[in-house]
Amino acid sequence: MLVTLKQIAEELGISITTVSKALKEYPDVSKKTRKLVRETATLLNYKPNSFAVNLRTKESKTIGLIIPEIVHHFFSSVIKGIISQAEKKGYLVITLQSNESFELEKKQLDLLLSKRVDGILISLANATADYKHLTEIIEQDTPLVMFDKIAKIIRCSKVIIDDRKAAYKATEHLIKIGCKRIAHFRGPLLPQNSIDRFLGYKQALIDNDIIYDPSLIYLLNEMSFEEGQFYANQLLKDHNDVDGIFINTDLVAIGAIAEFNNQGVKVPDQINVIGFSNWFMSSVISPSLTTINQPGFEMGKKAFKLLYKEIRDKKKNKVISYKDVVLDTDLIIRKSTKKMLI
């Protein structure tokens, strides 16, 4: 059983108030008594009741985290970054998974609010198009930081990468090595990052005088290995002149490469493939995948740091200023792309 102040008091034959004061090192309790109480508390393995502590300080030292999917290399890296940083500052993290569902996301935010977490970190579900549940949190003065899948319109701090710029960089790489007909496997219409990656792709074409051809755009929903295989096969049926593809995420790109390997289509000799995210499997498949590095662990750390600052500023009644942090991405050149022979 957990030991209470009452038990310590009974053990020593003193009042509960004295025990409580002694543990808080109040000077109106004698040094000798304070020492005795401390020793007895240690002996009985007393742990202060954190709910009571919470009521006093009005802090729960707990934050909430809502993430679309846990079994995902990028997101699990983000979670790791958040938890490692939170632990350094003495915060615990309650993790919830929205399964890309808008309804679940709303319900989970409510749950976290009712738990009086000190702040919330969220990466939005793909299905989220209405943001009332988010503005509500901000109106209630609970610090909120969004990362990766964000809503630009919401006034709060955000940690993202510049998806448009990164996608531009990826597409430009294909153009530089000599590709003329570049397809794009994009994500669904909703999350901002799949829109931005598409726009970066398109801009790179325009800036390099390559005509944008909508028939080279494939819109994926699941973003799975299997979808990668399916659309690689579809692409081979639809177009026989494509010499490069920029694919929204590495897992899909790995599926596409598996399909090309399977059909005897040589990567990169017949078709150059570039992915996005730098999932660690990308370096070990054959041929290894050229991709854009998306820093998950750093994103998690940074998101927590911003949230922590807001929690502290709120406590000090300072005005909270929102920040947009854009993390750097790198082009990682491997063997799925190479300079084309003319």
List interacting residues with a copy of itself (CB under 8 A). Answer: 1-2, 45, 47-52, 54-55, 60, 62, 70-73, 76-77, 79-80, 83-84, 87, 92-97, 110-116, 136, 140-142, 225, 254-255, 258, 261, 280-281, 284-286
Of 149, 129, 134, the C-alpha closest to 78 is 149
Q: Nearer to a copy of itself by C-beta: 111 or 333?
A: 111
Q: Nearer to a copy of itself by C-beta: 30 or 283?
A: 283
Q: Nearer to a copy of itself by C-beta: 52 or 206?
A: 52
Q: What is the dihedral of CA 304, 309, 315, 316, to 10 degrees?
A: 170
* CA 311-314-316 angle, 5° bins: 115
Closest approach of a copy of itself to the CB of residue 216, in Å = 25
Closest approach of a copy of itself to the CB of residue 81, in Å = 10
Closest approach of a copy of itself to the CB of residue 339, in Å = 24
Closest approach of a copy of itself to the CB of residue 79, in Å = 5
Q: Nearer to a copy of itself by C-beta: 143 or 200?
A: 143
Closest approach of a copy of itself to the CB of residue 52, in Å = 7
Q: Nearer to a copy of itself by C-beta: 51 or 341?
A: 51
Of 329, 325, 322, 307, the C-alpha closest to 82 is 307
Q: Nearer to a copy of itself by C-beta: 197 or 305?
A: 305
Q: From the centroid of its chain, how far is CA 277?
A: 12
Q: What is the DSSP string of 16-64?
A: HHHHHHHHTT-TTS-HHHHHHHHHHHHHTT----HHHHHHHHS---EEE
- DSSP, collapsed to helix, strand or coil, labels residue 147 as strand
Q: Nearer to a copy of itself by C-beta: 1 or 211?
A: 1
Of 224, 175, 200, 208, the C-alpha closest to 71 is 224
Say if residues 11 and 39 touch (Cβ distance below 8 Å): no
Alpha helices in 180-249 (DSSP H): 192-207, 225-238
Calculate helix-pair angle for 5-12, 16-23, nearest 10 degrees: 110
Query: What type of residue is 23?
Result: L
Q: Nearer to a copy of itself by C-beta: 37 or 252?
A: 252
- DSSP, collapsed to helix, strand or coil, labels residue 120 as strand
Query: What type of residue is 87?
Result: E
Closest approach of a copy of itself to the CB of residue 301, in Å = 14
| Count of residues making up the chain | 342
State which H helix or E strand residue 56 sits in: helix 50-57
146 beta partners? 122, 158
**How far is the C-alpha of 64 from the C-alpha of 41, rounded, in Å?**
32
Closest approach of a copy of itself to the CB of residue 198, in Å = 26
Closest approach of a copy of itself to the CB of residue 44, in Å = 11
- DSSP, collapsed to helix, strand or coil, labels residue 273 as strand
Q: Nearer to a copy of itself by C-beta: 136 or 298?
A: 136
φ/ψ region of 178 (left if φ > 0, alpha if ψ in -120 to 50, else beta) reads: left
Closest approach of a copy of itself to the CB of residue 154, in Å = 18
